[in-house]
């Protein structure tokens, strides 16, 4: 990616601190298990960061997108606008950049780093399951009531498709 090595060197500590506060207050760090029929193990780990603002303040999100150079902006129907960055690599890079300044979402960042560490290197089923168990923690961290894809569902899917041994 063209932005990978560029943005970290040019962002001042003042801007990093501001953006970290923005993320703490009007942002969300999410890790989810997403059902994917085209994946051999049926699921993927999706990482995302979302910043929220009233649509009348959209320019703040446009500025933030220009700082990171990744992601997309979407106007919702409820007069809110979202700036979203999706993907493990860009999310982890942004979190590493902001980590020293994060206050309220320190636990989110810590679990994000653990998930990244579990998925590093050559992909394997063992790594996917270990990461999925950490992803489950985001349900509690984000007060998610609707999350249905969990490590339990992943393991059940794997057993149904004879990709994971039963402990019967």
Per-residue pLDDT tens over the stretch 81-136:
999 999 999 999 999 999 999 999 999 999 999 999 999 999 999 999 999 999 99
Taking the domains of the chain in order of start, what are their residue ranges? 7-160
In the CATH scheme, what architecture does the domain 7-160 have?
Roll (3.10)
> Residue written as tokens 């057993």?
159
Check if 78 is active-site. no
The contacts of residue 131 (CB under 8 Å, 6+ apart) are 45, 115, 118, 119
Which of 50, 35, 133 is closest to 90 using CA atoms? 50
- The pLDDT assigned to 106 comes to 97
Angle between helices 13-26 and 88-98 (to 10 degrees): 110
135 vs 44: CA distance, rounded Å: 11
- The pLDDT assigned to 166 comes to 67
Check if 136 is active-site. no
Catalytic residue from among 21, 24, 26, 87: 26
Q: Quick one: pLDDT band at residue 139, thresholds 50, 70, 90?
A: confident
Which residues sit opposite 47 in a β-bridge? Answer: 31
Instruction: Calculate the average pLDDT of the chain.
Output: 91
84 vs 141: CA distance, rounded Å: 19
């Amino acid at each position: 990616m063209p932005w990978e090595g560029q943005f970290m060197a040019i962002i001042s500590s003042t801007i990093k601190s501001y953006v970290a506060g923005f993320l703490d207050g009007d942002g969300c760090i999410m890790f989810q298990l997403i059902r994917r029929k085209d994946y051999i193990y049926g699921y993927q780990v999706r990482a995302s960061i979302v910043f929220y603002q009233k649509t009348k303040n959209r320019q703040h999100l446009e500025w933030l997108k220009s700082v990171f150079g990744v992601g997309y902006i979407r106007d919702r129907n409820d007069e809110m606008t979202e700036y979203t960055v999706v993907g493990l690599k860009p999310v982890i890079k942004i979190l590493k950049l902001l980590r020293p300044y994060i206050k309220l979402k320190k636990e989110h960042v810590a679990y994000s780093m653990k998930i990244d560490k579990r998925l590093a290197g050559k992909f394997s089923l063992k790594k996917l399951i270990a990461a999925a168990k950490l992803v489950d923690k985001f349900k509690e961290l984000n007060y998610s009531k609707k999350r249905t894809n969990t490590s339990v569902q992943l393991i059940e899917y794997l057993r149904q498709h004879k990709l994971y041994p039963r402990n019967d």
